[in-house]
Structure 1
Amino acid sequence: MRITELLQDATIDLGVKVNSKEEAIDHLVDLMVKGRNITDREEYKKGILAREANGTTGIGGGIAIPHSKNKAVTKAGLASMTVPDGVDYEAMDGEPSDVFFMIAAPAEGSDVHLEALSRLSVILMDPVFKDSLLKATSKEEYLALIDKKETEKFPEEAAKEEEKPAVQEEKADDGTIRVLAVTACPTGIAHTFMAAESLENKAKEMGITLKAETNGSGGAKNVLTKEEIENCDGIIVAADKNVEMARFDGKQVLQTKVADGINKPEELIQTILDKKAPTYHHSGAAAQEDSAEGESVGRQIYKHLMNGVSHMLPFVIGGGILIALAFLVDNQAINPANFGKNTPLAALLKTIGEQAFGFMLPILAGFIAMSIADRPGLAIGFVGGALANGGYTFANIMAYDSAKAVSSGFIGALFAGFVGGYIMVLLRKLFDKLPSALEGLKPILLFPVCGILIMGVVMIAVNPVVGAINTGLNNFLSSMSGTSSILLGAVLGGMMSIDMGGPFNKAAYVFGTAQLTVANAGPEQYAIMAAVMAGGMVPPLAIALCTTFFKNRFTESERKSGVVNYIMGLSFITEGAIPFAAGDPIHILPPCIVGSAVAGALSMAFKCGLPAPHGGIFVIGVITNPVQYLISVVVGAVIGMIVMSFTKKPLNK
């Protein structure tokens, strides 16, 4: 399906003026409504915003391609607009975006629109063509430009067949394809094809023959052949998800992010040509394990841990907030010992929340193990996490009493996840020696039975030790008071601002949420979670305040973006500060860290407590000492703003 078949006059608007990313999205969604492509505007917009939350679709070069595959879409379609003055769309290159294409794809049915999308991604890589779109004065001219460029880049199949011999002869004259590439992103819609086109264009400029395989939502296209892999100099794998790596065994392989394929094509190609990429050795294990080649041990551990945490968080947040709501709607006076379940509604909320919470540790362990050993590791890690949560030991398995068992908690689940994953890796290596006739038995019988048995024995054996460590840590935290607890709050609050979504931020947040999993969690544990959230709310708020009261420190687009950070900060979305921190880390990060540390320390000093793992201002009703908590956050944000006003100097007129 051609691009011009998905565009229509009603969904094109030229010379638009918008002042923010949100306004740009709203305008494009309105065009979709005019084109009758969607039935529910808000549902479709929600899908667009959810995609943006996973990473900007502002791909750089002035281009943005927001998209959503959504149940509100009745037919596949495109909406497009030009914004001559540009608008800050949080693009990858930090520059304003001025040419927009929004894609609407039905949740069910054919993916025929993806072919048109891949074409769109390719033709927009031509800066001359992109500028011609920006200068178009009528919708007819706009459509004609797209149609002409699409025909030029993608002639009809018959014409392609006629040209194939010439292309093959050109490659034959060259000898072989020197560089191969594989591109892939989690959604597989735009970035996959942009990276491929960027690499191919740069290779042409360098006089190098390059072939790129795209792993998009419509499946793998332009697949690399065995002969091409054998004869090439090396392979660039620009991917944010797992791709088939076994075929590259023994070849020079450079693994990187899909964004690097778009923004650093020459650097990647030159690394292959200079033979500086590592030689890839396939282990016969999981794709995740293979992708660890060349990565530091710390980076591998972080990736495995984050895989577990990312899958665990929905259970933490959903269950935690439901439990917090149960306390909010309950009447403690009825029976203080049964607080949270004294009324039918409270009992309903708390029961559901507790069940969700019960899955946290098994999910954490299961997906850590899966990250290490692929799907066979999931069941092993899941069982290990459940045993850690239950506190099973050889001393109590004959007469188990959950009330007396000592759970090894979060630490035990971490142990189970990593050990379970490597148990599976070991089993895979051991079973490689079995006859090939037994290959089919491995995933359905040998791996789960042997893996779960070994994992169970290991966890039951170590639970007493890990449980004692977990209990000791909880007792230590419970004993902290005065200066020591305030210092802990300052450290945790500051960590939330050091890298905003990076390892330090995640470590602090995971530590805070882990306290909520403690059996009979109380004020000490809730205080830690409160300090963590306070620290995370400050950076966006400090930046928003600074853009409001010290306007001369920021550009016009930054001031407009700063307003959004009021909402982000109050919602405990620290990532709202990332565009500012990334653009000027030296002057933005230190004030944010100071403000967050102050907020965390004050929250501890005021003995504020939070039984929910998220929610920001919207869970203020369940926070202990809510007024003091608001004071902590506001004071931290104001201090951050004041420090920022000194570190960030006025802009030159």
Structure 2
Amino acid sequence: MKISSVLQPENIILDVTATTKAELIDELAQKLNNNGYLSDIEQFKKDIWAREEQVPTEVGFGIAIPHAKSAGVKAPAIIMGRSLSGINYSTESCNLFFMIAVDQHSSSEHLQTLSKISTFLMDELFRAKLILARDREEIVRLFEQAEQQDTAALHSDKKHAGKKIVGVTGCPTGIAHTFMAAESLKNAAQELGVQIKVQTNGSTGVENELTAEDIEQADGIVVAADVKVDMSVFGNRKVVQTSVKNGIHHAKDLIEEAIAGKGVAQNGGQSNLKEAKEKTRLKQPKIYSHIMNGVSFMIPFVVAGGILIALSFMFGIHAADPTSPDYNPFAAFLSTAGGSAAFALMVPVLAGYIAYSIADRPGLAPGMIGGMLATLGGSGFLGGMLAGFIAGYSILAIKRLVRGIPDSLQSLSPVLILPLVGSFVTAIIMYFVVNTPMAWINVSLQGWLNSLTGTNAILLGALLAGMMASDMGGPINKTASAFGLAMFANQIFEPSAALMVGGMVPPLGIALATTLFKNKFTIEERNAGKAAYIMGASFITEAAIPFAANDPLRIIPANIVGAAIGGGMCMALGISLQAPHGGIFVIPIAASNPLLYILCIAVGSVVTACIIGLLKKPVYQSKNNDQTEVEKSELAPTMKSA
């Protein structure tokens, strides 16, 4: 049943005369009665008030929907009233009123039609159009257009009903992007009528793992990940493979491609799947993905080690030193666990999992051994990255060389030949070729950073924080993070402080903007802003992505400027941070000056919020470019009263 069958132009009052709730209910009920929809107006009003006494029917957003299922109703109908000055309904002033009259024996079809109107009213732009409508016919047309769009979307989006999709998502940190992409794929699948199961390769491990039966029954496969994913489980199936960011922003397109049979067959039509994977890697090495895979495994060691060392400082700066009068055995234990153990493993783990990303399990041992040589030889984080690539590609080359060995020796290849020869090759290159020049670069870089003061320190902090805020998890962000981790591995902790400022300011600044400038954001964005407070405080920059995607030309510059100011302040004040992840949970124990550090974050967030407030237009203006200046000026006082 169409909405026009229950909302007639004669049942629309553009300017109600009522000034109170009681007068409003009387006026709307009287109009329904005059138009022949009621058989007993007093019974109907009695039922309306009975409903109001249970729970007032104002629903927020300046809307009230008094309604009743009553014996006093002849035929289902809706009457709309509008008050530009607003009426104090119960706890708030309302501008739009929809009185719903339903007879006791009304069909479910009538009820569904009436409830559909309520869903349209949740759209802030739609409500604005109702307030700006010049006549009753325009209001009816607005509902008809909304209904047509809803019907079209329903028919077009369910064209893949009955299909099944499986997916995998994963990002370097495994915290936000991983699950945002999974949620986006699920929402898109629901819109398309597609059944879906998504495996998340998150920071806590694999969740919702795909089974062989899931993959076999699937009509399409989507892998949206920036880290290593075991593709061998898909056999010879075609897989649509992309970045996790595309999984967030283009989920529906990816599902369409998968169902259409697009993607790349994992065995390339050859009999040996692993050989095909190796050839693909040799032709098109994914350097960025390999590095991020190593970083994702390294981060837990960095966080755990940094927090343990920071906890040891609570007993005194020199409490872990046996020669100090402040020596404390427990502080020494914490320092040993964090520094001598966790920090010592950072670079080997980085190198090992870069090699693992390139060459699977045979690359793990050579990579970690090469990473340890990088640590011992002074080439540090940068040397560890090189060790990972040397080990990984050495294993791929060795595999090609031993492909022709007798079958009786093939079983020894992954456990003896590959790790032994790979480790030997990697060790020679690291020891005699890489370590000396990389150590010199490391020492030079450390000396340069330690010498930075004044303007130079401010510029570096601003640059690092601005890079963190620029693409919120993308290549620029990860480049800055890699630099910070390299310095962290060399026990230079000031860049880490600036980087975390750059990661926390965008979501916190946006969240603050949604609070201070409510008219610049939709209801959905304001609700998302509340979550952004928590995510931003936890150093989850990805909370800012939906806002930046919707309005990049305003949000991204605001993020960069606010982050750069906060990061510059942080470096100028010489603040260091010995736990480069964790946000507010690690600041009290890991920052050299927690209060000043929080001030830097707060200043950056306020700057970002103010810039957003200045740049963004009110939501009605920005979403309706055809709106005239007169309409805008009329809307402002109206919505203020709402």
TM-score (norm 2): 0.60
The number of equivalent residue pairs is: 447
List aligned pairs for 1:513-532, cutoff 5 A.
Answer: 513-518=485-490, 521=491, 525-532=492-499
Q: CA deviation at 1:262?
A: 5.0
User: Structure 1, residues 163-210: CA drift from partner, whole Å, max 9, x if none?
Assistant: xxxxxxxxxxxxxxxxx9984425999969x88x969x899xxxxxxx
Aligned to 1:637: 605
Matched, 1:508 2:508: no
Q: CA deviation at 1:344?
A: 2.1
Q: CA deviation at 1:513?
A: 2.4
Q: CA deviation at 1:550?
A: 0.8
Which of 477, 490, 493 lines up with 2:462 in the alignment?
490
Q: Name the stretch that deviates more: 526-535 or 308-317.
A: 526-535
Aligned to 1:243: 231
Give the Cα–Cα distance (whole angstroms) in 2 for the partners of residues 290 and 586 of structure 1.
41
CA contact (8 A) 1:408 1:463 kept: yes
Q: Secondary structure at the match of 1:185?
A: strand
Amino acid of the structure 2 residue aligned with 1:238: V
Q: CA deviation at 1:18?
A: 12
Give the Cα–Cα distance (whole angstroms) in 1 for the partners of residues 353 and 575 of structure 2.
33
Which of 424, 431, 434 lines up with 2:405 in the alignment?
434
List aligned pairs for 1:207-606, cutoff 5 A.
Answer: 217=209, 219-221=211-213, 237-240=221-224, 241-244=229-232, 248=236, 255-256=241-242, 259=247, 263-268=253-258, 272=262, 280=268, 285=274, 289=278, 300-330=286-316, 332=318, 342-354=327-339, 355-391=341-377, 407-461=378-432, 462-518=434-490, 521=491, 525-606=492-573
Q: Name the stretch that deviates more: 479-488 or 489-498.
A: 479-488
Aligned to 2:145: none
Q: CA deviation at 1:307?
A: 0.6
User: Structure 1, residues 103-160: CA drift from partner, whole Å, max 9, x if none?
Assistant: xxxxxxxxxxxxxxxxxxxxxxx969x99xxxxxxxxxxxxxxxxxxxx98xxxxxxx
- The 1:575–1:202 alpha-carbon spacing in structure 2 relative to 1, beyond 3 Å, is closer
- The 1:198–1:286 alpha-carbon spacing in structure 2 relative to 1, beyond 3 Å, is farther
Which of 158, 162, 168 lines up with 1:185 in the alignment?
168
Give the Cα–Cα distance (whole angstroms) in 2 for the partners of residues 182 and 290 of structure 1.
28
- The 1:411–1:444 alpha-carbon spacing in structure 2 relative to 1, beyond 3 Å, is same
Amino acid of the structure 2 residue aligned with 1:239: V
Amino acid of the structure 2 residue aligned with 1:437: S
Give the Cα–Cα distance (whole angstroms) in 2 for the partners of residues 345 and 593 of structure 1.
42
Amino acid of the structure 1 residue aligned with 2:449: L
CA contact (8 A) 1:252 1:280 kept: no
CA contact (8 A) 1:285 1:428 kept: no
Give the Cα–Cα distance (whole angstroms) in 2 for the partners of residues 444 and 621 of structure 1.
44
Q: Which runs of 5+ in 2 are unaligned?
A: 1-57, 61-114, 121-152, 171-177, 200-207, 621-634, 636-642
Give the Cα–Cα distance (whole angstroms) in 2 for the partners of residues 83 and 628 of structure 1.
52
Give the Cα–Cα distance (whole angstroms) in 2 for the partners of residues 286 and 360 of structure 1.
31
Q: CA deviation at 1:244?
A: 2.6
Amino acid of the structure 2 residue aligned with 1:555: T
Q: Secondary structure at the match of 2:555?
A: helix
Amino acid of the structure 2 residue aligned with 1:244: S
Q: Which runs of 5+ in 1 are unaligned?
A: 1-16, 20-81, 88-125, 132-151, 154-179, 204-210, 226-234, 392-406
CA contact (8 A) 1:602 1:632 kept: yes
Q: CA deviation at 1:85?
A: 7.7
Aligned to 2:591: 623
Give the Cα–Cα distance (whole angstroms) in 2 for the partners of residues 648 and 431 of structure 1.
62
Among all aligned residue pairs of Structure 1 and Structure 2, give the percentage whose two residues are the same amino acid. 40
Give the Cα–Cα distance (whole angstroms) in 2 for the partners of residues 183 and 323 of structure 1.
42
List aligned pairs for 1:116-195, cutoff 5 A.
Answer: 183-185=166-168
Q: Which has the higher contact order (CA 8 A, sep 6+)?
A: 2
Q: CA deviation at 1:310?
A: 0.5
User: Structure 1, residues 38-57: CA drift from partner, whole Å, max 9, x if none?
Assistant: xxxxxxxxxxxxxxxxxxxx
Amino acid of the structure 2 residue aligned with 1:416: A
Give the Cα–Cα distance (whole angstroms) in 2 for the partners of residues 223 and 335 of structure 1.
53
Amino acid of the structure 1 residue aligned with 2:334: L
Amino acid of the structure 2 residue aligned with 1:624: S
User: Structure 1, residues 381-408: CA drift from partner, whole Å, max 9, x if none?
Assistant: 01110111111xxxxxxxxxxxxxxx11
CA contact (8 A) 1:245 1:290 kept: no
User: Structure 1, residues 222-273: CA drift from partner, whole Å, max 9, x if none?
Assistant: 7669xxxxxxxxx96422433338964xx9875447956754444455684x
CA contact (8 A) 2:365 2:419 kept: yes
Amino acid of the structure 1 residue aligned with 2:338: G
Q: CA deviation at 1:338?
A: 5.8
Amino acid of the structure 1 residue aligned with 2:360: D
Which of 582, 607, 610 lines up with 2:574 in the alignment?
607
Q: Secondary structure at the match of 2:231?
A: coil
Q: Secondary structure at the match of 2:463?
A: helix
CA contact (8 A) 1:321 1:613 kept: no
Give the Cα–Cα distance (whole angstroms) in 1 for the partners of residues 325 and 438 of structure 2.
30
Q: Secondary structure at the match of 2:592?
A: coil
Give the Cα–Cα distance (whole angstroms) in 2 for the partners of residues 262 and 356 of structure 1.
42
Amino acid of the structure 2 residue aligned with 1:418: F
CA contact (8 A) 1:326 1:347 kept: yes
Compute the RMSD of aligned alpha carbons: 4.5
User: Structure 1, residues 277-309: CA drift from partner, whole Å, max 9, x if none?
Assistant: 9994768647865675996x5xx1111011100
CA contact (8 A) 1:369 1:420 kept: yes
- The 1:245–1:321 alpha-carbon spacing in structure 2 relative to 1, beyond 3 Å, is closer
CA contact (8 A) 1:212 1:222 kept: no
Q: Secondary structure at the match of 1:593?
A: helix
User: Structure 1, residues 200-221: CA drift from partner, whole Å, max 9, x if none?
Assistant: x899xxxxxxx99999736212
Q: Name the stretch that deviates more: 342-351 or 256-265.
A: 256-265
